[in-house]
Structure 1
Amino acid sequence: MKKKLMTGIIAALLLASPIVMPTVTEAASVEDLESQKAELENKSNDLNSKIQSQEETLNNLESEKANLESEVEKLQTDIDAVVLELKAQEQKLADSKAKIEKLKVEIEKLKDLIAKREEKLEHQARSVQTDGNTTNMVELVLSADSLSDLIGRVGVVNQLVSANKDIVTQQENDKKEVEKNEQAAQEEKVAIESLKSEIEVNKNNLVAQKAELDDKIIQVATKYDMTESEKNQFVKEQAVIATQTSVLSSELQEERQRIIAEEEQAQAAAKKAEAEAEAKAAEAEAKQTASSSSSNSSKGSSNTAPSSSSSSSNSSGFIKPSGGYSTSSYGYRIHPITGVNKLHGGTDFGGGGPIVAAQSGSVVFAGYHSSWGYYVKIDHGNGLQTLYAHMVAGSLLVSPGQHVSQGQQIGTMGTTGSSTGVHLHFEVYVNGSRVDPANYL
């Protein structure tokens, strides 16, 4: 009986097992499915969020591209204006040169005429000294046979005196005319030199504006994450927009390209020369430092090292490069755009207005940079240089190689490049290394 009961129980269990086990498995599968469903929904949400973000990015880029095209058109218009101004200035320069040449010819003619008159007067003077004197004139009059003869002889004497007087008067007038023409020629030369400077500055601004235009096109192309071929095609498209916008004739467009090519070569050469000079200065400084350290260690601690430049910095003779107030000093800070803690290598001045050279020197660079915007760098000699950044587009008043005086305006405070507002970013370099400008102001 027990055996039958046990057998029945086992049979019941065996019969029950197909029903119980699948139920457990099914429950587990539902939980997995629910979990997978939730995971898929999360992934879908993430994907939708990414798609939405990407769409927003693309929309922003489309907007940025449209803005870029507007800026391309505006910059191209500005570039055209500069080219037309250059053309007018070069014509004025040619006219001034022709005027100087004409004045030179007139001066030479007058000088030749004056020389001939002087020779004639000297000849007459020698004749009077050798062939007669004032009594001859008296005898000429007294020896007259009749009244009519007397009147005739007096007339001859008057004619001789009057002729010489006219010659002397004309001689003086011609000499004054020579002086007048020479003064006019000198003034024209000064005007030519001034005009040449204006032409160089305008050419430099043209190249800087072209650099800004190219930089903006590349920035948008980079944000679109384009391939190299797509980027090149995009750049070509923007160039076509610029060409279509341009009102210049084909001849002037060729002239523009020639000017840009020449100035870019000149700026590249200037940058190379500056880099080589800075490398040499750094090498010389390193050698001097090494020599100084060796000398100090051999002499012992009782001998002090040469005094640093900070003592002479305060008497450097620098003036403030702008009338603005200091908004950010030299040193580490949180960058206002990137949010990264990094060295702020200069002093910022806010407020707006003209920017002037802190000290006299020679312009090393005047152009555009994606970070500094429109900027100028001046070499003051003895390894000392200053940099002035974020100027207004087209406001550069100097060009590379030009000598500037202390206090001479070189540009206007703006917010070009990586900038959050109108200000001047001012840097000081000693042998190629940035130092705190506060020690020089």
Structure 2
Amino acid sequence: MKKKLMAGIIVTLLFASPIVMPTITEATSVEELESQKAELENKSADLNSKIQSQENTLNNLESEKANLESEVEKLQTDIDAVVLELKAQEQKLADSEAKIEKLKAEIEKLKDLIARREEKLEHQARTVQTDGSSSDMVELVLSADSLSDLIGRVGVVNQLVSANKDIVIQQESDKKEVEKNEQAAQDEKVAIESLKAEIEVNKNNLVAQKAELDDKIIQVATKYDMTESEKNQFVKEQAVVATQTSVLSSELQEERQRIIEEEEKAQAAAKKAEAEAEARAEKAEAEVAKASASEVKQTSKSSTTSSSSTSSTTSSNSSGFINPSGGYNTSSYGYRIHPITGVNKLHGGIDFGGGGPIVAAQSGKIVFAGYHSSWGYYVKIDHGNGVQTLYAHMVSGSLLVSPGQQVSQGQQIGTMGTTGSSTGVHLHFEVYVNGSRVDPANYL
């Protein structure tokens, strides 16, 4: 880029020279010479200013590139850590599933053994009922011819009773073992479900971190107005930096790519739905703003009606929402000068300063959990009845939920951070009703 700039300057000066010299030669007065000199000096100063500006831009670009490479390396390390954790979790999941299969096989064996024993005991009982009774055993003992014969017959009876008693005891023991194994299998199933949910969250974090990485690279490329080919080359350079930083084996890198592609499809669908909802919300907000402007011109009667309407809305405090964080309110809902762009714009939520965990304001289903260039890492929850909440600017990699997951009120979903368009650690909290943003204060 520097070479192109300097070449342009040299060509400009060469073309300018033949025009300037004849003008000086043909000058007829000192005033004209002075005027031409001043004009040339102004052009030279302007040119130098542009050169200096370009130099500053290039220096800033080099600095931003260095910072970006550092961030790329850090994010890639985080991504690698998630992939390794996923691999370990998936191995643990496979081990748990194998354990359940083994327990199932043992349970089936024991149940079969118990069934055969019960059949044997029932057969013996039927034999006693049809072929003899307890009096037969007494007669067997009493009909002994001698003491030794008596002792022998008593021993036979004892063996029969003892054998049946042992069978009954073993039967009870095996039944308890079946119950124990069934409980162990159930506990393992619960652990598996928990592990699967954890894997989904980690996969979701992996894709969100990849989205943040790509967004940072594109932002720097766009900021310095690169051509399409320069931008593509820049993106490739950063991809090389990421690859060189990675400590994953080729097999794990392929696995990472598979996970990313799989999750990106789900994220794309969620983003599309989110974009449509945003468009509807903006349209609704524009209509509300227009209606508000016309309300100002209404009579005092309309004012009274409006007051009673506000009172009715405030009663929605009984909606059962809780504060999404323990932080303090730093910025309320309404129009304000944006701290980054300096534009007077609607602040569509409430900001909570401080730090710490972010929790679900009410139970519901996760609609989106990922990364956005403005909101940073954020989560959106659907609470039913057209009500949704949004939680933005979370710490990178702190997402504890994934799309489709059910969450309970007060469950932690992330940690307060400063990702996206943010000037400091805080939570930006929004409430949507039928797609339109409303003041969250009425719900907290």
Do they superpose with TM above 0.5? Answer: yes
* CA deviation string 1:179-224 (max 9, x = no partner): 1100100000000000000000000000000000000000111122
1:183-198 correspondence runs (5 A): 183-198=183-198
1:26-41 correspondence runs (5 A): 29-41=29-41
Match of 1:358 in 2: 361
1:91 to partner: Cα distance: 0.7
1:27 to partner: Cα distance: 11
Equivalent position amino acid for 2:34 in 1: E
Match of 1:134 in 2: 134
Once the two structures are overlaid, the 10-residue window that deviates more, 306-315 or 267-276, is 306-315
In structure 2, relative to structure 1, the CA distance for the partners of 1:272 and 1:53 (3 Å cut) is closer
Match of 1:333 in 2: 336
In 2: Cα distance, 1:277 partner to 1:57 partner: 38
* CA deviation string 1:30-51 (max 9, x = no partner): 2232233223323322332232
Match of 1:422 in 2: 425
* Pairing 1:402–2:411 present: no
1:103-252 correspondence runs (5 A): 103-252=103-252
1:1-40 correspondence runs (5 A): 29-40=29-40
1:311 to partner: Cα distance: 4.8
In structure 2, relative to structure 1, the CA distance for the partners of 1:280 and 1:418 (3 Å cut) is closer
In 1: Cα distance, 2:170 partner to 2:133 partner: 25
In 2: Cα distance, 1:280 partner to 1:337 partner: 25
In structure 2, relative to structure 1, the CA distance for the partners of 1:69 and 1:283 (3 Å cut) is closer
In structure 2, relative to structure 1, the CA distance for the partners of 1:93 and 1:436 (3 Å cut) is same
In structure 2, relative to structure 1, the CA distance for the partners of 1:218 and 1:152 (3 Å cut) is same
Decide whether the 8 Å contact of 1:281 with 1:383 is kept in 2. Answer: no
Task: Report the secondary structure of 1:326's partner residue.
Answer: strand
**4+ long deviations beyond 4 Å:** 273-284, 304-309
In 2: Cα distance, 1:281 partner to 1:341 partner: 18
In 2: Cα distance, 1:433 partner to 1:171 partner: 66
In structure 2, relative to structure 1, the CA distance for the partners of 1:33 and 1:313 (3 Å cut) is farther
In structure 2, relative to structure 1, the CA distance for the partners of 1:280 and 1:227 (3 Å cut) is closer
In structure 2, relative to structure 1, the CA distance for the partners of 1:152 and 1:409 (3 Å cut) is same
In 2: Cα distance, 1:92 partner to 1:414 partner: 31
Task: Report the secondary structure of 2:225's partner residue.
Answer: coil
1:102 to partner: Cα distance: 0.8
Identity of aligned residues (%): 91
Alignment coverage as a number of residue pairs: 399
Decide whether the 8 Å contact of 2:281 with 2:436 is kept in 1. Answer: no
Decide whether the 8 Å contact of 1:375 with 1:390 is kept in 2. Answer: yes
In 2: Cα distance, 1:364 partner to 1:324 partner: 24
Choose the corresponding residue for 1:375, options 378, 381, 389. Answer: 378
* Pairing 1:343–2:346 present: yes
Match of 1:290 in 2: none
In structure 2, relative to structure 1, the CA distance for the partners of 1:281 and 1:109 (3 Å cut) is farther
In 1: Cα distance, 2:280 partner to 2:133 partner: 80
Q: TM-score, normalised by structure 2?
A: 0.85
Decide whether the 8 Å contact of 2:333 with 2:439 is kept in 1. Answer: yes
In 1: Cα distance, 2:388 partner to 2:71 partner: 33
1:28 to partner: Cα distance: 7.9
In 2: Cα distance, 1:275 partner to 1:282 partner: 10
In structure 2, relative to structure 1, the CA distance for the partners of 1:346 and 1:281 (3 Å cut) is closer
1:282 to partner: Cα distance: 11
* CA deviation string 1:160-192 (max 9, x = no partner): 111111111101110110011001000000000
1:280 to partner: Cα distance: 9.2
1:15-94 correspondence runs (5 A): 29-94=29-94
Decide whether the 8 Å contact of 2:280 with 2:435 is kept in 1. Answer: no
Equivalent position amino acid for 2:120 in 1: K
In 2: Cα distance, 1:282 partner to 1:204 partner: 28
Equivalent position amino acid for 1:322 in 2: S
Once the two structures are overlaid, the 10-residue window that deviates more, 220-229 or 341-350, is 220-229
1:276 to partner: Cα distance: 6.2
In 1: Cα distance, 2:279 partner to 2:424 partner: 34
Structure 2 gap ranges (5+): 1-25, 285-301
Q: Which has the larger radius of gyration?
A: 1
Decide whether the 8 Å contact of 2:386 with 2:433 is kept in 1. Answer: yes
In 1: Cα distance, 2:234 partner to 2:172 partner: 72
